[in-house]
Structure 1
Amino acid sequence: MSRAAPAGALGDLRVIDLTHFLAGPYCTQMLADQGADVVKVEPPAGDVTRTFGPFHPEDGLRAYAGYFASVNRNKRSITLDLKQDAAREVLLALIDGADVVVENYRAGVMEKLGLSYETLRARNPKLVYATIRGFGDARTLPSPYGDWPAYDVVAQAFGGIMAITGELGGEPTKIGPGVGDIVPAMLAAFGIVCAVHHAGRTGQGQFVDVSMVDSILALCERVLHQYAYGGTVPVPQGNQHPFLCPFGTFPTRDGSCTITAYDDRMFCELCRLFDMPELPADARFSTWQVRYDNHVELIDILSGFTRRRTKQELLVLLGGRVPFGPVYNVADIMADPHFAAREMIVPVEQPGMDQPVMLAGIPVKMTETPGSIRRRAPLLGEHTDEVLAEAGLAPAAIEELRAAGIFGALLSQTTETAA
C-alpha cells in the first residue's frame, strides 16, 4: 500500500457509503481507489460480509474475512445505529458536507428512516444520490417489480445472461463471478462521476438510479440485436461464438486455451503457424461465413493440433501473432508475469497478521492521477471519532453520543482489540 501516493482524480470528493454486500461496496471502492474519501457507515454489528469467509488461517483478530477485504479497501468506517434519532442527526450532518451518497437498500428503507433523496436534496442541493437496486427506482422509471429484492443470480436470470451461458444444448448456467452485482456497481460508479461533473458545472445534484437487471441486459447487448435483426432467440453456445469461427476454446495437453482467428488475415496466419497452409484455400473454410457454416469440422481439425501441445507451448507459438489466451486458474494468474507487471496482484495489510495478503489491484490506470491502495479495509467503526471531529463535533459531544449508544456496544471492543 502506498501512503505517499497522489490524491487521485477524485481526491476532492467526499462519499457517504451506506452500502452492504457486494454491488454497493464495489461501486464505492472504485471511487475510493481513485482518491475519493469514502466514509462507510455501518450498523453497530457491522456489514454482514465482515464474517463471510474465508478468514486467513494466520489471522488472530478475525476483524473481517476475504470477502470484505476485497471490496472495502481505501475506506473509513464509522458505526451508527440509524434506528436512533440522534444517530440519524449525525448522519445528516455528515451528508450536509458530502458530495455523494450511495445506498443499496430495498426501496423504501431510506424513506422510513427519514433519509429520502428528497430530504437530503433539500439540505444539500449539490448532492449526488446513487442507488443500486434489483429493478431500479420509480424516481426515474417505475418497474412492476420495483419493490422486489434481488441478488446476483436473480439479476443474471432476469437480465438474460444465464440463457446464453452453458454448454451447447445444455441448461442455462450462472456466470462464475457475481456479475449481477459487479456490472451494476461499475455502471453506478460511472453514473456518479457523470453526475458529479454535472453538479460541478451547474450546482445541481441528482438521483442516479442503477438496476441490477438492467445492467445485465446491457451487458447482453447482442441478444437484442440477434432477436431484432435476425428473429432468433439465442441459446447457450458452449465455449464457441454464435456466428464466428474460430472464436472460442480449444483443448490442450494440460487444460484449455482460447483462439480468435475468424477473419481472413488472422486465419491465414493461424494456419501458417499450425503448418496447415491448405486450409484457407479449402472451399469449406475460405471465408468467414463458410468457416462458421462448417465450424464443427474446423474446430475438430484445429483441436487435433492444440490437444497435442501444452498451454505454454501454444502461448510461445501463438502469442502476439494471433489473439490467444490460456485458460488460467488463479494459481496460473499468480505465476504469470503480466499481472505482477500491471500491479493487478497487490499486497494489502490484514489486521491480525504480520504478513500482507494478496488481493486484486486497480484496473483503471492513469498517468497524471493514478489510483492507489492507500489503506486496507477498515476495522468496524475504526474512524468514528476522526470522521465526526472533521464534521465539527467536539470530543465531549462525541463522548456524549457514545454514552447514548448511537455507535453501538461493539465499537469500543473492536477499536481496543485493534489497538
Structure 2
Amino acid sequence: MKGALDGLVVLDLTRMLAGPYATMMLADQGARVVKIEPPGGDGTRRNGPHLEGALRMEGGGFGAYFASINRNKESLTLDLKTAAGKAALLKLVAQADVLVENYRAGVMERLGLGYETLREHNPRLVYAALRGFGDPRSGASPYAHWPAYDPVAQAMGGIMGITGPQPGGAPTKIGPGVGDIAPAMFLAYGIAAACWQAQRSGQGQFVDVAMVDAVLAVCERMVFQHSATGEVPGPEGNGHPLLCPFGLFPARDGHVSLGVPNDRFWAPLARLMGQPELATDPRYASSEARLARRAEVDRIVGAWTARHSKAELAALLGGEIPFGPVFGADDIFADPHFRARAMLVETEQPGAARPLTVAGTPVHLHGTPGGVRRRAPLAGEHTQQVLQDFGFAADEIAALQAAAAR
C-alpha cells in the first residue's frame, strides 16, 4: 500500500541533521523526496561510522549518519551556482509541492532562488526553511546571522538549563540531537499543515521554524513555571519538580525509571515495596506531602530498588505502576518490543557485506503505512530518472550531468 503522502513531491536542499530529518519524516510517509546535492555530493556522506567495505563518499556512498536520515529519498546532483543549475531548479520547482532548505538566512536570495522568486514560478509551492534563529520574514532575531547547531539550540532554547544530574547544579547537554530533531519534527508538521491549506486554496506559503524556538516549545513547563512564580527553573536532577517519586532510581545492575504521577499509584508501590503503611501515613499519603519530603521519599524508594535487579523490578512493577528499565543500545536490540514495532530496520549499505540497522518510524498509519522502504541514495543516483520525470530533454540531462560531474 502507498503511504499517506504518496504523490507529494518534495525538493530537499537540506544538509546536516535537522533538515534531512524533517524530509525523512515526509519520505517515510510516502512523499517523493528528491535530495538535491552539490557536485561531489552532500558532505555529510563522509560522516561515520562505516560498515566494513561500505562505499565511501568518493564513490558516491555514505556512512551510517547519512544512511539513517536520508532513507527513502532520491538523489539529484545540481550545481546551483551555475545559470544552468538555477534554471533546472526553477523547472523542478514549477512541478513540485514543497521545497525545504536549511541554509543561513539570505543564502537562497543571494543565489536568486529566494521564496519570492520561486513562488512566481509556482504559486502553490510550500517553501519551508529551518534556521538556527529563524527567518527574518517571521521576526528579525538579533541572532539571525549566527550559525547554530544542536548544542547552541539546546543551550539557548532552555533545555540545557533545566537538565543536569543534581538539582541546582551545572547544566547538561542532552545526549541525542534534540536541538536538531525537535525542530525537524515541527517543520514536518508545519509542512503538512501548509500542504493541506495549499490543496484547498491553491496557494502555497512560507513555513519558518527556528531551532531555538522549537527547543523552547519542548520546554513549555519552564515558561509557565517562571510566569506563575517568578522563579528560574534550574537543573532538576533525575526527578520531577512537581511529582514525587518520579524519575531515575538505582537497581542492583543498573538503573530504572518509575513514576507516581498521582496518589492512585502510590498505594500499589508501597505494597510492592513491603511497606503498605506508607500509603496511609499522612507524611507520604498525598502528592503534596511526598513532594514536601522529596529527598526522604526518594531515599526510601531508592533503597528498595537498589536491592533488586532490573529484571526483578520489571517482574514486580511492570503493569502495576509507570515503570521501565534504563536500556542501552544492546538492550534495545535484544528487546522484543522494538522488533515487534518495526523500530529496528535493516537497510542495504552499498559495498558492505552486511546490512546497516537504522531506527524505523514511530508513526504507524494502518491504512497507508509508512516506514523504511529503501536505503539512502548514492550521490546523484537518480539524476537521470528525476530529470526525465520532470520533462527535461536528453541533451539538457546530459549537459546537467556533465556540469555536476566537474
Structure 1-normalised TM-score? 0.94
2:36 equivalent to 1:41? yes
**What is the rounded CA distance, in whole Å, between the counterparts of 1:399 and 1:155 in structure 2?**
42
Which residue of structure 1 aligns with residue 349 of structure 2?
350
Cα distance change on mapping 1:262 and 1:190 into 2, 3 Å? closer
**What is the rounded CA distance, in whole Å, between the counterparts of 2:25 and 2:207 in structure 1?**
16
1:355 deviates by: 2.3
State the AA in 2 paired with 1:408. A
State the AA in 2 paired with 1:33. D
State the AA in 1 paired with 2:21. Y
Which residue of structure 1 aligns with residue 89 of structure 2?
91
2:349 equivalent to 1:330? no
1:395 deviates by: 2.1
1:274 deviates by: 1.4
State the AA in 2 paired with 1:74. N
Which residue of structure 1 aligns with residue 307 of structure 2?
308
**What is the rounded CA distance, in whole Å, between the counterparts of 1:401 and 1:33 in structure 2?**
29
Deviates more, 1:296-305 or 1:210-219: 296-305
2:6 equivalent to 1:11? yes
Q: Deviations over 1:222-259 (max 9, x none)?
A: 00111111221001011000121010110001110011
1:66 deviates by: 0.7
1:278 deviates by: 1.0
Which residue of structure 2 aligns with residue 257 of structure 1?
256
Q: Deviations over 1:331-381 (max 9, x none)?
A: 111111110110000111111123211110110011101102221000000
- Alpha-carbon RMSD across the aligned residues, in angstroms, is 1.1
Which residue of structure 2 aligns with residue 367 of structure 1?
366
Q: How many percent identity over aligned positions?
A: 56
2:402 equivalent to 1:408? no
1:181 deviates by: 0.5
Native 8 Å contact 1:80 1:408 kept in 2: no
Q: Deviations over 1:99-127 (max 9, x none)?
A: 00000000010001110000000110000
SS of the equivalent of 1:119 reads: helix
**What is the rounded CA distance, in whole Å, between the counterparts of 1:58 and 1:282 in structure 2?**
64
1:67 to 65, 68, 72: 65
State the AA in 2 paired with 1:87. G
SS of the equivalent of 1:278 reads: helix
Which residue of structure 2 aligns with residue 213 of structure 1?
212
**What is the rounded CA distance, in whole Å, between the counterparts of 2:180 and 2:26 in structure 1?**
16
**What is the rounded CA distance, in whole Å, between the counterparts of 1:170 and 1:230 in structure 2?**
20
**What is the rounded CA distance, in whole Å, between the counterparts of 1:221 and 1:297 in structure 2?**
28
**What is the rounded CA distance, in whole Å, between the counterparts of 2:334 and 2:254 in structure 1?**
16
SS of the equivalent of 1:181 reads: helix
Which residue of structure 1 aligns with residue 134 of structure 2?
136
SS of the equivalent of 1:139 reads: helix
Cα distance change on mapping 1:262 and 1:284 into 2, 3 Å? farther
Which residue of structure 1 aligns with residue 114 of structure 2?
116
SS of the equivalent of 2:100 reads: strand
State the AA in 2 paired with 1:214. D
State the AA in 2 paired with 1:24. G
Q: Deviations over 1:156-213 (max 9, x none)?
A: 1111111000022321111111101000000000000000000000001000000000
**What is the rounded CA distance, in whole Å, between the counterparts of 1:60 and 1:152 in structure 2?**
28
**What is the rounded CA distance, in whole Å, between the counterparts of 1:398 and 1:48 in structure 2?**
24
SS of the equivalent of 2:304 reads: helix
**What is the rounded CA distance, in whole Å, between the counterparts of 1:61 and 1:171 in structure 2?**
40
Deviates more, 1:354-363 or 1:343-352: 354-363
For these two proteins, the number of residue pairs brought into alignment is 402
SS of the equivalent of 1:78 reads: strand
**What is the rounded CA distance, in whole Å, between the counterparts of 1:318 and 1:280 in structure 2?**
16
**What is the rounded CA distance, in whole Å, between the counterparts of 1:317 and 1:392 in structure 2?**
63
**What is the rounded CA distance, in whole Å, between the counterparts of 1:191 and 1:8 in structure 2?**
19
Native 8 Å contact 1:258 1:327 kept in 2: yes
2:30 equivalent to 1:31? no
1:56 to 51, 61, 70: 51
SS of the equivalent of 1:89 reads: helix
Native 8 Å contact 1:344 1:363 kept in 2: yes
Which residue of structure 1 aligns with residue 376 of structure 2?
377
Structure 2-normalised TM-score? 0.97
Native 8 Å contact 1:17 1:38 kept in 2: yes
State the AA in 2 paired with 1:192. I
State the AA in 2 paired with 1:117. Y
Native 8 Å contact 1:81 1:408 kept in 2: no
Deviates more, 1:389-398 or 1:113-122: 389-398
State the AA in 2 paired with 1:67. Y
Deviates more, 1:275-284 or 1:198-207: 275-284
SS of the equivalent of 2:105 reads: coil
Which residue of structure 2 aligns with residue 3 of structure 1?
none
Native 8 Å contact 1:128 1:192 kept in 2: yes
Cα distance change on mapping 1:259 and 1:353 into 2, 3 Å? same
1:60 deviates by: 5.1
**What is the rounded CA distance, in whole Å, between the counterparts of 1:372 and 1:337 in structure 2?**
18
Instruction: Provide structure 1 residue ranges, at least 5 long, that are not aligned to the other structure.
Output: 1-5, 410-419
1:61 deviates by: 5.1
**What is the rounded CA distance, in whole Å, between the counterparts of 1:373 and 1:290 in structure 2?**
48
State the AA in 2 paired with 1:301. I
**What is the rounded CA distance, in whole Å, between the counterparts of 1:372 and 1:301 in structure 2?**
44
